[in-house]
């Protein structure tokens, strides 16, 4: 078996749409699968759910690539696989998403 060089770190995000209630508007919950950390952000009506995911991920420079692994819209969630540079540990995406949502990028 030939040795291969690892060129990325891979982790996942579960993204779930949370519909409006009597007291709150629509929201989106992001959960990082390797750490179990999560955050809930207000839905940004400029985008659909996939557009929100794309917008957040594109504003996190450490993420080099991402793929939608599961599109389970019947249960209102997406499973996203993302890659980061192998020279860095897997980042805390949830903290980055919190900061971005506060800045409302």
Q: Is the dihedral of CA 38, 39, 43, 47 positive or negative?
A: negative
Does residue 20 sit within a domain? yes
Residue 37 domain flag: yes
**What's the predicted TM-score (pTM) here?**
0.83
Beta bridge partners of residue 9, listed in sequence order: 84
Reported in sequence order, the residue ranges of the chain that DSSP labels E, i.e. its strands, are 8-18, 27-32, 38-42, 63-72, 77-85
- Total structural domains in the chain? 1
The string of DSSP codes covering 48-66 is: -HHHHHHHHHHT-TTEEEE
- Is 50 among the domain residues? yes
In a domain, 36, yes or no: yes
Q: Which domain holds residue 44?
A: 8-103
The verdict on residue 61 lying in a domain is yes
Per-residue pLDDT of the chain (105 residues; tens, 9 = 90+): 566 555 568 889 999 999 999 999 999 999 999 899 999 999 999 998 889 999 999 999 888 889 988 877 677 789 999 988 777 677 888 999 999 999 876
Residue 1 placed within a domain: no
């Amino acid at each position: 078996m030939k040795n291969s060089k690892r060129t990325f770190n891979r982790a996942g995000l579960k993204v779930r749409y949370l519909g409006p209630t009597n007291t709150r508007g629509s929201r989106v919950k992001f959960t990082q699968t390797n750490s179990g950390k999560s955050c809930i952000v207000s839905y940004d009506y400029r985008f659909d759910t996939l557009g929100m995911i794309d917008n957040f991920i594109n504003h996190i420079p450490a993420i080099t690539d991402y793929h939608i692994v599961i599109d389970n819209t019947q249960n209102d969630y997406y499973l996203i696989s993302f890659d980061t540079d192998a020279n860095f540990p897997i980042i805390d995406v949830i903290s980055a998403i919190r900061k971005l949502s506060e800045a409302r990028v």
